[in-house]
Amino acid sequence: MGQAEPATESSWQTPPTPGWPALRGLMPANVRIGSAVDGKLLATDERYRSELAAQFNAVTAENAMKWVNLEPSPGVYDWSESDQVVKFAQANGQAVYGHTLLWHSSVPAWVSESWPRERIRELLRQHITTVVSRYRGKIWAWDVVNEVLAEDGSLRDSLWLRKLGPGYIADAFRWAHEADPDARLFINDYGTEGRGRKANGLLRLVRELRMAGVPVHGVGFQSHLRWDRAPEDATGNLRRFAALGVSVAITELDVRIQLPVDAEKLLDQALLYQHMLKACLAVSTCESVTLWGFTDTSSWISSHYPGFGAACVFDSDIRPKPAHEALVQELTSRRGTPPG
């Protein structure tokens, strides 16, 4: 008597999403809407989980599938967080976008550039084969190579380029294709969503790979934007990639704001989110639009861009911002409109 009820699971679980529309229910049938997933929040925050499930029909592990996290010491894989993401997605009818098999920035520290070329090549082959095989049939698309271009559109100077030469890109795609012939294979980069030197370089590279019969199926445009700058002709740019016969996807969309946030900046941000959604949907081969996180609680922006923040479509209390509303409005107004 007089004692508080013990906390039961149902007493601390939050109710299902309150009354705002779900993006996933509004997308054209052939285009997915995704979010990057923060493994820690997925494991600990019920409100995060329920909004993630309600809004999106695709997920990308923000960090869990990066090589540095999967294989902390040679030959010892830790699948726990990436398996959790896949399990969650399966339970919620979401497709998984795999990120990423090869990235200069996520090479485990135990990989040494002093090793002979053949050893490094074999290591890369094994890594790609191991990861893609584990999730064969469970991952719809892979970012096979991430950020392989320099700002001028030439190949980025990296361990892979230095040790293996430019052929490492084609090799990575072929190995991934062998391990899961049904997975869609993407090349992903940033700063390529608008026209410019880097996008031109990417276009050349994708054309060359396709002409050489390399299984490149899609191009991912990360789209880490700032609120006051739209990419140069995103629609036209995406269309010239589609003309090569590949799919296009917006893979990491976020729109950072210089703090402090105000109503006008939030509106500009909303317009830019809408603009990128429209740009992709204007292209007949647009496969997905993925947000790089959906809540301001967990975005990478504040640690990488001091003085900036609030880059997502939900605030840190997981309530929709004008950007969410703009996406909803755009999708609602297009319903019944044929794609492309």
Q: Which residues have a catalytic role annotated?
A: 147, 252
Token pair listed for 318: 């997981």
Query: Could you give the CA distance from residue 194 to residue 148 in angstroms, rounded to a whole number?
Result: 17
Sign of the C-alpha dihedral, residues 83, 110, 298, 44?
A: positive
Segment near ligand 9MR (CB under 6 A); pick from 6-14, 60-68, 107-115, 326-334: 60-68
Nearest alpha carbon to residue 261 among 200, 174, 219, 322 = 322
Per CB under 6 A, 82 contacts ligand 9MR? no
CB of 39 to ligand 9MR, least distance (A): 10
Residues 199, 306: Cα–Cα separation, whole Å: 27
Q: Which of 45, 51, 62, 193 binds ligand 9MR (CB under 6 A)?
A: 62
Whichever of 143 and 171 has its CB closer to ligand 9MR, that residue is 143
3-state secondary structure 33-50: EEEEECHHHHHHCHHHHH
Contact yes or no for 194/221 (Cβ under 8 A): no
Of 55, 63, 288, 290, the one binding ligand 9MR (CB under 6 A) is 63
Q: Which of 82, 94, 192, 222 binds ligand 9MR (CB under 6 A)?
A: 222
> Three-state DSSP class for 153?
coil
- Among positions 252, 268, 287, 296, the unique one binding ligand 9MR when judged by CB under 6 A: 252
CB of residue 293 vs ligand 9MR: minimum separation in angstroms?
A: 7
Q: Phi and psi dihedrals of 34, rounded to 5?
A: -125, 170
Give Rg (Cα) of the chain. Answer: 20
CA dihedral over 252, 255, 256, 260, signed as positive or negative? negative
Task: Give the closest residue to 222 by CA, choosing from 172, 148, 156.
Answer: 148
Smallest gap from Cβ 151 to ligand 9MR, in A, equals: 15
Show the site string, 171-190: x = touches ligand 9MR by CB under 6 A, - = not: -------------------x
Write out the two tokens for 240: 């010239």
- According to DSSP, the residues that pair with 19 across neighbouring strands are none
Q: Residue 97 interacts with ligand 9MR (CB under 6 A)? A: no
Cα distance between residue 12 and residue 205, in whole Å: 52
Residue 57: name the closest of 38, 17, 20, 30 by CA.
Answer: 30
Q: Nearest residue to ligand 9MR, using CB?
A: 300
Whole-number minimum distance, CB 303 to ligand 9MR, in Å? 7
Spatial separation of the C-alpha atoms in residues 55 and 59, rounded to whole Å: 11
Q: 36 vs 331, which CB is nearer to ligand 9MR? A: 36
Residue 106 or 329: which CB sits closer to ligand 9MR? Answer: 106
Q: Specify the residue, 225 or 331, whose C-beta has the smaller distance to ligand 9MR.
A: 225
Q: Least CB distance from residue 224 to ligand 9MR, whole Å?
A: 6
From 62-70, 117-125, 157-165, 311-319, give the range in contact with ligand 9MR by CB under 6 A: 62-70
Q: Residue 297 or 329: which CB sits closer to ligand 9MR?
A: 297
Q: Which of 300, 311, 312, 327 binds ligand 9MR (CB under 6 A)?
A: 300
Q: Which of residues 116-175 bind ligand 9MR (CB under 6 A)?
A: 146
Query: Site residues (CB under 6 A) for ligand 9MR?
Result: 62-63, 66, 106, 146, 190, 222, 252, 300
